[in-house]
Amino acid sequence: MGGKVLIVDDDPTVRESLRGLLEQRGLTPVGAASDGHEAVSLASSLEPDVIVMDRMMPGMDGVEATRRIKQTHPDTQVILLSAQLDDEVQREGEGMGVYCYLAKGCSDNLIVDMVTRAINLKNEFAR
């Protein structure tokens, strides 16, 4: 399965939980960031295939971080996690090329499935 995954969330418990889940399912977390600024920096240095990004963070939020990352790394797939999914934010994300939105608290299987699909899509672009 492979694929490099960057985890971005301001909550260290969420970051560690996602890291454990992905590792358990054979995916490769290559780093973790606690805010959007750090995410933009790590996206450049680590070149992940997929970023699992929290939407709401202090400082630079996940939407702005995604916008900046997609400008320099358009083939990096971004999955935005949000406590609330509203139509306006989903439309904005679609305009930036967000792979998908997931609600925080969704099933582990759904997270793993979407990350795996996003990795497969990135690999398709690389061919």
**What's the pLDDT band for 122 if we cut at 50, 70, 90?**
confident
Q: Please tell me the predicted confidence (pLDDT) of residue 85.
A: 67
Q: Please tell me the predicted confidence (pLDDT) of residue 94.
A: 72
Q: What is the pLDDT of residues 27-70, one digit of tens each?
A: 999 999 999 999 999 999 999 999 999 998 999 999 899 999 99
79 SS3 class:
strand
Q: Please tell me the predicted confidence (pLDDT) of residue 82.
A: 87
Length of the chain: 127
Q: Please tell me the predicted confidence (pLDDT) of residue 127.
A: 60
Compute the Cα dihedral for 110, 115, 31, 55 and give only its sign: negative
CA contacts within 13 A on the Cβ side of 49: 21
Instruction: Round to whole Å and give the CA distance between 3 and 29.
Output: 8
Stated pTM of the model? 0.92
Measured from the Cβ of residue 113, the count of other Cβ atoms closer than 10 Å reads 12
Q: Please tell me the predicted confidence (pLDDT) of residue 11.
A: 95
Percent of the chain at pLDDT > 90 equals 71
Q: Please tell me the predicted confidence (pLDDT) of residue 48.
A: 96
Rounded to 5°, angle at Cα 87 from 85 and 89:
70
Q: How many distinct structural domains can be found in the chain?
A: 1
Rounded to 5°, angle at Cα 122 from 117 and 127:
125
Q: What is the CATH number of the domain that holds 16?
A: 3.40.50.2300
Q: For residue 120, is pLDDT > 80?
A: yes
Q: What is the pLDDT of residues 63-108, one digit of tens each?
A: 899 999 999 999 999 999 988 767 776 777 677 789 998 988 899 9
